Amino acid sequence: MSLGNFIRTIACFSFWAAQARLSPMESQLDWHSARALLEWQVELGATEAILDAPVDRFSLETTAPKPAPVTAPAAQAAVQQASVQPDPAQIAKQMAETAGSLDALQAALAGFEYCELKRGARNLVFSDGNPAAQVIIVGEAPGRDEDQQGKPFVGRAGQLLDKMLAAIGLDRQSQEPANAAYITNVVPWRPPQNREPSPEEIAMLTPFLLRHIALIKPTVVVAMGNISCQALLGKRGISKLRGQLQNSRDIDVIPMFHPAYLLRNPSAKKLAWADLLMLKAKLAAS
């Protein structure tokens, strides 16, 4: 109600009170007092006396109203928006399948932009060793030394790995395929703070690993650690997986403790030696 309407309301009330000729016994408030009170309200800044409709203050909601349900068109639009998001694993598979050589595969990995690990790494750690080798050693991910040098297994764990391979007559530097070893990782970029690669990172990079193995065509693959077993076998639990030859996707896999684990747990080296003997026997029988 505007100020003019409010004043007119006052006038009407005053007229009504005068016509009613209220006596002090019939009302405790005469029309002069009522008018004076209303004029005082105007001076205080009141601009409305009544609303267009009555308000029941006792029935007002005490909680915030619930949001309106998503309509079918809105839900459909959300599904469509989600469906257009690229699937990194599918893109990786397509890129890997088109690589006809190790150089092409390395270039495809270098051009893969869907793994955030790439943003913080110094180098792409692709591989080391003789591609003609009968055995591929698959590690988990590069550490600090590997990230700096761009090669897998060059730190303390790598030094132990070289000693383990030498114990059964293998050498990553050997030019003879029967005595050579080829080494790569599930993840080619160093995770920050050397954390474990996430399941999403493993899933999107496994197609490159599988293509890597397909191009080398080894007799056997050594999966070192849980991450490698997850990528190649879809399983974790290296303590239970090791000690027996596994097969996945027509690939013979020998799970083995990671050298970094052996550095922390020297007592497990006797189990690793048994696994190395299994690897030696597998290569000899091929």
Write down the pLDDT at residue 24. Answer: 45
Residue-wise pLDDT for 37-75, tens only, equals 777 777 776 666 666 666 666 665 555 566 666 566 666
Q: How confident is the model at residue 16 (pLDDT cuts 50, 70, 90)?
A: very low
Q: What is the mean pLDDT of residues 204-226?
A: 98
Question: 138 and 201 in one domain?
Answer: yes
Do 148 and 122 touch, CB atoms closer than 8 A? yes
Percent of the chain clearing pLDDT 70 (strictly above): 75
Q: Are residues 11 and 121 in the same domain?
A: no
Same structural domain, 44 and 95: no
Residues 147 and 45 grouped into a single domain: no
Query: Last residue of some domain: 11, 28, 53?
Result: 53
CA 175 to chain centre: 41
Question: pTM of the entire structure?
Answer: 0.71
The answer as to whether 257 is a domain residue is: yes
> What value does the mean pLDDT take over residues 189-215?
97
Half-sphere exposure of 8 (CA within 13 A, CB side): 6
* Mean pLDDT value of segment 5-17: 52
In a domain, 35, yes or no: yes
**Residue at 71 is within a domain:** no
Report the chain's mean pLDDT, rounded to a whole number: 86
Is the Cα dihedral 30, 33, 34, 35 positive or negative? positive
Does residue 61 form part of some domain?
Answer: no
Answer whether residue 218 shows pLDDT above 80.
yes
Report CA-CA distances (Å) from 102 to 99, 130, 154, 216. Answer: 7, 12, 21, 8
Structural domain includes residue 81: no
Residue 155 lies in a domain: yes
Query: 139 with 204, same domain?
Result: yes
**pLDDT for the residue 48:** 65
Indicate if 23 and 94 belong to the same structural domain: no
Residue 220 lies in a domain: yes
The verdict on 174 and 129 lying in the same domain is yes
Do 230 and 113 belong to one domain? yes
- Domain hosting 270: range is 87-285
Give the number of domains in the chain. Answer: 2
Same domain, residue pair 162 and 250: yes
Starting from the edge strand earliest in sequence, which strands make up the sheet with 128-129, in order? 128-129, 182-185, 135-139, 220-224, 251-256, 246-248
d(CA 286, CA 272): 21
Q: What single-letter amino acid sits at 214?
A: A
pLDDT score, position 286: 84
Q: Can you give the pLDDT at residue 284?
A: 95
Indicate which CATH number applies to the domain containing 169: 3.40.470.10
pLDDT value of position 37? 74
Indicate whether 68 belongs to any domain: no
pLDDT greater than 90 at residue 14: no
Across 207-218, average pLDDT:
98
Within this chain, do residues 263 and 128 fall inside the same structural domain, yes or no? yes
263 shares its domain with 140: yes
Are 212 and 156 part of one and the same domain?
A: yes
CA distance 97 to 91: 10
Residue 135 has pLDDT above 50, yes or no: yes
Per-residue pLDDT tens over the stretch 66-116: 666 656 666 666 556 555 678 999 999 999 999 999 999 999 999 999 999
